[in-house]
Amino acid sequence: MNELAIFGGTPVRSKPFPGWPQPNDNLKNKIIHTFENEGWGVGSATVTRFNERFADFQDAKYCITTSSGTTAIWVALKAAGIKAGDEVIVPPYTFIATASAVLMANAVPVFVDVEVETFNLDPELIEAAITPKTKAIMPVHIAGNPARMEAILAVAKRHGLVVIEDAAQAHGAEWNGTKVGALGVGGIFSFQTSKNMSAGEGGAIVTNDEEFANACFSYHNCGRVKGGQWYEHQHLGGNFRLPAIGAAMLDAQLDTIEIDIALRDKNRNIIDNALKDVPGITPVKMPNEVTMSANHIYLSRYDSTKFNGVSREAFFKSMQAEGVYTYRGYVPLYKENLFITNADEYPWLADRDYSTLHMPVTEKLCYEESIWLKQNHLLGTEIDTQDVIDAFEKVTTEIRKNPERFQDIGK
């Protein structure tokens, strides 16, 4: 095998991976159709059509599109009856919005650690975090891989809690043959630019519960109610609506999403099959009930003990030099400065000290083990996918053979 690129050799790859999101003629035509014929905002037929199609696609009865995934979480929490001071259980291994939207609803995020194999909320640890103030559990389907929904729903049922899925990254993912989102009372999606479906910005809530859907409609639409007057406001809501042009872009993507899902799944399987034979690298585990992942991001773990102590950072730098950008992803959410809370700004958190939290699995993943590929790495041809595998094999083989060469890299 030739010399590693980081030491002056030829990189496995110098071409970029396919770009994302991808414009096409169908998308352009749908945007123009809406622009010219269906209105740009409130009352646009495009939004109604996309809501119906997306609900159907996610195996749900209702969809309410929103301005972002963050606003979708806020709206869903309010619609589920979360009140000031209520506690909402969330994993700390996720994007900030999962927890910050809880704060925006004047509620309290309570962190529960994740499973090392799936990177998702550990159902076994939820019960110990439940208090009389707990009202909801918000599992996240991280990287598009569904969390253990059966066990999470069972704990929620035992304690009378609602489950709101953060499916921001999980368009089209399935748990036991049913698409995620409406497995609990409802779930949210993001259409932010990097997501598997993108309108640049946008979000959605899906549900099978009519009352919850109506409440979501109200909170996302300035507190108006269905059938009410334009200037009649029953709740403290806001304008969190999706613009019609965004809905047109998303409507076009529903025409091709099955093809994208199949491609991502095929490429993920090819990489999984290759990496299972690379000592020290462990692909994320899918529980048997995951009948389809959205495969938003390819996750795996780095075990430095299998690489003579060579740091994950040295591995990342070497992979990046080969033209396959790997990186560590999230830090534990409770370590973000946001959670060094100020009692003047967040009086309902005055008795809570997030700085003392220590979640061993999340910290192990964030600080030592997690490896993220970029989301467009799963969108390539077989040759592109083979490049990902070749880079892993080339770098890990050299680290194992000559660990001393990597001592100063990434320091």
Ligand X SMILES: Cc1ncc(COP(=O)(O)O)c(C=O)c1O
Binding residues for ligand X, per CB under 6 A?
A: 68-70, 94-95, 97-98, 140, 166, 168-169, 190, 192, 203
**Burial of 18 per CB tally in 10 Å (0-12, 13-18, 19+):** middle
Give the pairing of strands 108-111 and 87-90: parallel
Give me the least distance between CB of 236 and ligand X, in Å please. 20
Residue among 92, 104, 126, 168 nearest 335 (CA): 92
Question: In terms of CB distance, is 12 or 299 closer to ligand X?
Answer: 299
Question: In terms of CB distance, is 190 or 341 closer to ligand X?
Answer: 190
Question: In terms of CB distance, is 92 or 380 closer to ligand X?
Answer: 92
Give me the least distance between CB of 97 and ligand X, in Å please. 4
Question: In terms of CB distance, is 93 or 307 closer to ligand X?
Answer: 93
The backbone torsions φ and ψ at residue 362, rounded to the nearest 5 degrees and listed phi first, read -60, -45
Give me the least distance between CB of 191 and ligand X, in Å please. 7
Give me the least distance between CB of 82 and ligand X, in Å please. 16
- The span from the CA of 294 to the CA of 76, in Å, is 22
Q: In 264-395, which ranges are E strands?
A: 281-283, 290-292, 299-302, 370-372
Question: In terms of CB distance, is 68 or 221 closer to ligand X?
Answer: 68
- Please spell the DSSP secondary structure of 221-241, one letter per residue: BTT--TTS-TT---SS--B-P
Question: In terms of CB distance, is 140 or 361 closer to ligand X?
Answer: 140
Question: In terms of CB distance, is 74 or 354 closer to ligand X?
Answer: 74
| Overall residue count recorded for the chain in this entry | 411
Strand-pair partners of 62:
207
Residue type, 175: W
Give me the least distance between CB of 194 and ligand X, in Å please. 7
Give me the least distance between CB of 334 and ligand X, in Å please. 16
Please, what sign has the CA dihedral across residues 182, 291, 195, 278? Answer: positive
Give me the least distance between CB of 163 and ligand X, in Å please. 15
- The span from the CA of 285 to the CA of 270, in Å, is 14
3-state secondary structure of 34: helix
- Residue whose CB is nearest to ligand X in the complex, by number: 69
